[in-house]
Amino acid sequence: MTALFEIAEPGNGRIKEACQTAAVGIDLGTTNSLVAIVLGDGRPQAVSIDEGSTLLPSVVHYGASGEPGSVIVGRAARRLAAQFPSDTIVSVKRFMGRGSADPETLRLSPYKFASGDSGSVVRFEVARGRKVNPVEVSAEILRALRSRAEERLGIKIQQAVITVPAYFDDAQRQATKEAGRLAGIEVLRLLNEPTAAALAYGLDKKSFGTFAVYDLGGGTFDISILKLVEGVFEVKAVGGDSALGGDDFDRALATLLLGHAARDPRSVRIAIDEAKAGKERLTTEAQTQVLGRTLTRAQLEEVIRPLIERTGPACRRALKDAGLTTNNKLDGVILVGGSTRVPAVRAFVRELFGLEPLADIDPDEVVALGAAVQADLLTSDSPQHDVLLLDVAPLSLGLETMGGLAEKLVQRNTTIPTNATQEFTTFADGQTGMDIHVVQGERELVQDCRSLARFTLGGIPPLPAGLARVAVTFQVDADGILSVTAREQLTGVSQSITVKPSHGLTDDEIERMLLSSIENAEADVQARMLIDNRVEAQRILKATETQLDANGDLLSNQERSTIEAGMADLRARMALTDHHAIKDAIDRLDHDSAEFAKRVMDRGIDRALKGRSVGEFEGEVGAHAAKAYSAHVEQTTLYEDK
């Protein structure tokens, strides 16, 4: 018998048929994950998917049987964590895109890691010797979100917008996208969590305003400055720490509670779980019992104060990057993430920005709701959905040039999607290949940046140094993922790569990159100028030697001696650390060899004209002059930064 209608509790009714084709928004969180959908009336709503709650704990348990059905996700998995600490993966987001040697991997943790993987992607050893990586674990969470939402909504989910911390680097974004693909979900877009929160607050419906989004979740911290002008939602600056969040509060408190007690995996897991529960109770209570000890809110705040204060420098830097010299230029501050429930965090934000933060929407749900709004925007043709989101690249992207210099093609806080092209040339005569080394970071030297990828472009014509032209294009898509293409202009031969590093930034590495770029700015400039001048000196010496061998008969003995003395002086000064001294020697050698260079050029012209009319020669010159001049002024060489 079929019921004519169903009666359900508020929020528990099935979504109507009209919404069955809608895409969803997914917040793949460190502590909890959620899925949300925009209803027929245009309102986003989180879906109840785990024991009556919209929050699915981001916990995956791998059972001893090893069968597909033995993988448990959510609250049921969390209940098994203390009994099976090594087989139950909690807060896997903190390991996304990270290497097995990262400090984050080696911190207080009950997990077993596969041996022999130093420097490569993290792999957890779970039941029956099975080895799983963070992408696979995250895919299990996404599968659970998808299947439970499908059952709850009565629809088939194939597309989703998945949120990521604004400060996730390229490796972490790639890992998130791969997890979605592994779970059978078409990822429409990776959306920065702070931007999603702003959408959930309906800021896109305002005509203008500048807002700070303070996002402190379970495993990551983001600060974003967003500006809205007539439907264009532009992220002006981002900052944060991809290894700072509520989990660190729990670990710090657990370390205090454990003291010098034995730290076997089971006791570690119990201590962390108890610390988390105690922290949550102290949000509303003055004191509580944790592992048989009385813990006050004041004690908790003392333990976590250094962690909260770590968010301050990133916030101040983001304000500066956005061109806001004073906090009163902000129209509001939005709180995102479960950790912002902690009273000490809210007090810190209030003092830092001088504004009462907005917390009208549940901070646990706000990101998923915003992702649902963006999913609806991407799949709806309605004119009322005209809003443009412009995110930014969190760190500069570039490549290595001669001498170990980092040439930045995409500067940090550049609006994405974006692309940048720069031309490079060869350093050696007859060079037929070029090694393209892609790096990320703010420093001037490659050794101080992070290596993302390498590939080789072959097939370059064996021309004299400086004549071949290779255009390198960086393209960053709306998800913040980088693709690099190198194309030799004469032959058209090209090589491309989508940057997929094997692991992400180590703990605090992004923060270190930015701080060190500021602290070492002057030293970096001096080092760059030194390398530039050494490389230029090497080029000039090689070119002069070549011409002396080929055209030395054009010089008198005195002239040759003067040039050779200048070359010897330049070689000696190349060993110095004073770039001014090297530059002076370069200039003197240029001056002393100027007449020689003129004679060599005249000889070349005479040889070219021999047996030919002036008219013929002028015709060829006219045909190639503009092209040659264009190539000269546009070209950036591997040995000279333009």
Q: Which amino acid would we find at residue 611?
A: G
CATH superfamily of the 397-508 domain: Substrate Binding Domain Of DNAk; Chain A, domain 1 (2.60.34.10)
pTM of the predicted protein model: 0.60
Convert 11-22 to b/e letters by CB count within 10 Å (16 or more is b): eeeebeeebeeb
- Give residue limits of the domains in the chain: 21-206+361-385, 246-308, 397-508, 521-633
CA–CA separation, 254 vs 258, rounded Å?
6
For residues 631 and 642, give the distance between their C-alpha atoms in angstroms, rounded to a whole number: 13
pLDDT above 80 for 45: yes
In which order are the strands placed within the sheet that holds 397-401?
A: 405-410, 397-401, 434-440, 450-457
- What is the sign of the dihedral through the CA atoms of 333, 250, 132 and 112? positive
3-state helix, strand, coil in the chain (%, to 5): 40, 25, 35
Residues whose CB falls within 8 Å of the CB of residue 283, separated by 6 or more in sequence, listed in order: 341, 342, 343
Q: Is 93 a catalytic residue?
A: yes
Catalytic choice (50, 93, 204, 448): 93
Looking up tokens 């090297």, which residue turns up? 582
Burial 423-450 (b: 16+ CB within 10 A, else e): bbbbbeeebeebebbbbbbbbbbbebbb
Q: What's 48's DSSP letter?
A: P
Output the average pLDDT for the chain: 79
Residue 40's pLDDT band, with cuts at 50, 70 and 90, is confident
Under CATH, which architecture does the 521-633 domain have?
Up-down Bundle (1.20)
Mean pLDDT of 97-109: 62
Q: What is the pLDDT of residues 149-174, one digit of tens each?
A: 999 998 889 899 999 987 777 778 88
Instruction: Identify the sign of the CA torsion 553, 557, 560, 564.
Output: positive
Contact predicate 222/166, CB 8 Å: yes
Q: Would you state the structure tokens that stand for residue 564, as one six-digit string?
A: 């050779």
Q: Which of 102, 136, 170, 215 is catalytic?
A: 215
CATH number of the domain located at residue range(s) 21-206+361-385 in this protein? 3.30.420.40
Domain 246-308 belongs to what topology?
Actin; Chain A, domain 4 (3.90.640)
* More confident call, 410 vs 306: 306
**Residue whose C-alpha is closest to residue 226's, from 347, 336, 365:** 336
- Contact between residue 59 and residue 74 where contact means Cβ atoms under 8 Å apart: yes
Active-site choice (140, 169, 170, 193): 193
Q: What percent of the chain has pLDDT over 70?
A: 78
> Is 193 labeled as catalytic in the residue annotation?
yes
How many Å is the Cα radius of gyration of the chain?
Answer: 30
Which of these, 247, 209, 206, 240, lies nearest to 333 by C-alpha position? 209
Element (DSSP H or E) covering residue 204: none
- Given this model, what pLDDT does residue 104 score? 60
